Amino acid sequence: MTTVFAPGRVNLIGEHTDYTGGLVLPMALELGITFSGRADPERLHVVSDGHDDLDVALPLPDRTSAIAAIEPSWGRYLVAVARRLGVSPGIDGKISSTLPAGGTGLSSSTALTCAALLLLGGTGPPLELAKLARQAEIDATGVQIGLMDQAACLASRRDHALLMDCEAVTVSHVAVPESIEVLVVHSGQSRRLADSAYNDRQAACAAVEERIGPLRRATMADVDRLDDPNLRKRARHVVTENDRVMAMVEALGADDPETAGAILTAGHASLADDYEVSTPIVDRMVAALAATDGVYGARMTGGGFGGSLVALCRPGTEPPVDTWWTRARPGAGARIIEA
Footprint of ligand GLA (CB under 6 A): 15-16, 18-19, 145-146, 148-149, 302-303
Rounded-to-integer distance, Cα 53 and Cα 146, Å: 29
Helix axes 108-119, 148-155, angle to 10 degrees: 50
Nearest approach in angstroms of CB 256 to ligand GLA is 24
Query: Could you give the CA distance from residue 322 to residue 288 in angstroms, rounded to a whole number?
Result: 12
- 158: number of Cβ within 10 Å: 13
End-to-end Cα distance, the chain: 7
One-letter amino acid for residue 215 of the chain? L
Name the minimum Å distance from CB 267 to ligand GLA: 11
Sign of CA dihedral 36, 324, 302, 293: negative
Given the residues 18, 139, 149, 274, select the one marked as catalytic: 149
Q: Smallest gap, in angstroms, from Cβ of residue 304 to ligand GLA?
A: 7
Quote the least distance from Cβ 322 to ligand GLA, whole Å.
25
Question: Of 16 and 160, which has the nearer Cβ to ligand GLA?
Answer: 16
CA 109, CA 105: separation in Å to the nearest integer?
9
Least distance (Å) from ligand GLA to the CB of residue 134?
A: 8
149 is catalytic: yes
CB of 91 or CB of 161, closer to ligand GLA: 161
Q: Of the two residues 3 and 104, which places its CB atom closer to ligand GLA in the complex? A: 104
Query: Which is it for strands 335-338 and 160-165: parallel, antiparallel or unpaired?
Result: unpaired
Which CB sits closer to ligand GLA, 3 or 202? 202
Closest approach of ligand GLA to the CB of residue 197, in Å:
12
| Nearer CB in complex with ligand GLA: 145/161 | 145
CB 330 within 8 A of CB 192: no
Is the CB of 15 or the CB of 181 nearer to ligand GLA? 15
Please list the active-site residues. 149
